[in-house]
A and B are shown apart, each in its own frame.
Chain A
């Protein structure tokens, strides 16, 4: 009986919060991890990962031109160059770290807190940039991953973005 009550309360909470979008249940996390892992199965995956991140960042700059200056010190003017490629991998690996920590809420919070600090330290980064980044990423992932469960990804990534942007002023 108690279990049922707890379940109903959780269900009500999730339903109230913009139609299930905030839950990131154990099964959601499982699905996200499994679908994401496909990216890492090949030895040459670094080229795929860097290429994917490059595409997303360039699209971000296209959608939000004021972000271009934020990537000046990683040489966005030469997106194929070594400096920008390395930066692309840093971003993919940060996402990878977060996804792989989805099962360890406390460590995930600590990791995201650190990322929030790193983004807070760079003036000019705004929440709307992350919103655009998220939209571009969620539009691109299903084109890269054959298996992509939009509901699981959306519910888990909402929490990730909220925490990474939590220290931004604007």
Chain B
């Protein structure tokens, strides 16, 4: 092999140092994570589950036409379970989930849900949003089993959207936090 020039020598020392640095950084992050898990893994919907749900949701929620399809799938799954729920959505085109009014409405609902999920790691703001949503839902007298239908619909559509990178336990734990906040019980 040709002898290294001084520049190449400097470069190789530099990158060697970088590699070492990276290994150390990974170790530090792992140690910190281990500590974090030990602190937070006690209750349902803990901090790590919240982060996981947040990132899985942002992938599933997607954008544009994909989001419209995602939303359609969720609402069809809800109405398939509780057909009577359509009556609640009469004013917003609930008879036809593909109608413009219902597409707009279903995306509004998902936008609200998106806020609660993105706030899972900001307790004060999460509480404020849940209170706001509770007020909007109170006057509509929504039976508990409709919330359950929403949960089950998510439980089918999310894994269909995300494949195997979906954590059922994290979702059911964290969904409970959100649904209880909106229902008030």
Contacts and interface: CB of A to CB of B under 8 A. Distances in A.
Interface of A: 33, 37, 40, 43, 45-47, 49-50, 81-83, 85-87, 89-90, 93-94, 96-97, 100-101, 103-104, 106-111, 114
A26 to B, nearest CB: 12
A43 B51 contact: yes
Contacts of A81: 124, 128
A13 B126 CA distance: 47
Contacts of A83: 125, 128
Contacts of A43: 51, 54-55, 58
A33 B68 CA distance: 14
A111 B104 contact: yes
Interface of B: 51, 54-55, 58, 63-65, 67-68, 93, 100-101, 103-105, 107-108, 111-112, 114-115, 118-119, 122-129, 132
Contact of B125 (A45, A85, A94, A111): A85
A106 B65 CA distance: 14
A33 B62 CA distance: 12
Q: Is the interface of A mostly helix, strand, loop or mixed?
A: helix
Nearest to A92: B115
B118 to A, nearest CB: 3
A15 B22 CA distance: 56
18 contacts: A45-B58, A45-B118, A47-B122, A82-B123, A83-B128, A89-B118, A93-B114, A93-B115, A96-B111, A97-B111, A101-B68, A103-B64, A103-B65, A104-B103, A107-B101, A107-B103, A110-B105, A114-B105
Contact of B127 (A82, A100, A104, A114): A82
A85 B55 CA distance: 20
Contacts of B111: 93-94, 96-97
Contacts of A40: 58, 63
Given A107-B107, A110-B103, A86 B132 contact: yes
A100 B54 CA distance: 20
A86 B115 contact: yes
Contacts of B125: 50, 82-83, 85-86, 89
Contacts of B64: 33, 100, 103
Given A33-B64, A89-B129, A93-B111, A46 B103 contact: no
B178 to A, nearest CB: 13
